[in-house]
Amino acid sequence: MKSYTYLLLLLLPLLFSSCQTDYTELPTYSGNRQLQAIIETPAGNTLKLVYDKEKKEFVADKEAGQARKVGFLPYPANLGFIPSTEINKDGSGLEVLVLSERLESGTTAEVIPIALMQLENAGELRHIVVAVPARPSERQLDATTYASFSKEYAPAKAILQIWFSNFHKSAGTRFVGWRDEKFAEKEVQRWMKL
């Protein structure tokens, strides 16, 4: 009987580790045909979190060997990635910024893309899909298109532009421009894994 108990104790960690979700492999679109977003860094955080595919957990992003903290205002919205997209050889997914109340790391949210923010870091173009929750009851901003976002929430656009241009000074981020929801959707399609 003791040997069975010992064997069970040895196998339990293996069983639990094999049950962890690989967020990068979730479908890009839910069964409801809604775009999905995986939240890494919740709104209001100053510590940037990222999903570590090897460990299958959310960890602090590192810069020069140290956890990367924002030396500016906290994140104004929930930052994450769109699953089953890949924008580089490192396997990073297309970034998404979900404009809603705070969502914890690991939250899978159905979203509607309303814009695409273009930034430049060290000469490289960086695209961030800007989205709102698909469920109207979860939205803080009642915008589902770039036109309504621009007309009704122009100050929110300005805040995002200023924040992303200033939150990480050492990266030399420069705001390039805004694109509409159709362009955002094309970017999602462009980076989906086949």
pLDDT digits (tens, 9 = 90+) for 75-93: 999 999 999 999 988 889 9
| Terminal C-alpha separation, the chain | 49
| Burial of 101 from C-beta contacts in 10 A (0-12 / 13-18 / 19+) | middle
pTM: 0.87
Pick the closest to residue 103 from 73, 84, 80, 74 (CA basis): 80
Mean pLDDT value across residues 142-151: 97
Question: In which band, very low, low, confident or very high, does the pLDDT at 21 lie, cut at 50, 70 and 90?
Answer: confident
Higher pLDDT, 167 or 8: 167
| Alpha-carbon span 115 to 179, nearest angstrom | 6
- The answer to whether the CB of 83 falls within 8 A of the CB of 38 is yes
Q: What is the pLDDT of residue 16?
A: 46
- Cα distances from 84 to residues 20, 46, 67, 180, in angstroms, run 17, 27, 26, 22
Largest CA distance in the chain: 71
pLDDT at 60 over 50: yes
Q: Is 90 exceeded by the pLDDT of residue 160?
A: yes
Burial of 124 (0-12, 13-18, 19+ CB in 10 A): exposed
Residue 15 has pLDDT above 70, yes or no: no
Dig out the tokens for 148 from the structure: 């309504």
Identify the residue whose tokens are 């690989």.
22
Phi and psi angles of residue 190, each rounded to the nearest 5 degrees, phi first: -60, -40
Cα 72 from Cα 120, distance rounded (Å)? 19
The Cα–Cα gap between 19 and 34 comes to 25
How far lies 78's CA from each of 10, 43, 90, 129, 145, in Å?
38, 4, 22, 12, 19
Structural domains in the chain plus CATH codes:
21-191 (3.90.80.10)
Confidence of residue 19 (pLDDT cuts 50, 70, 90): low
**pLDDT at position 67 over 90:** no
Q: What is the mean pLDDT of residues 161-178?
A: 86
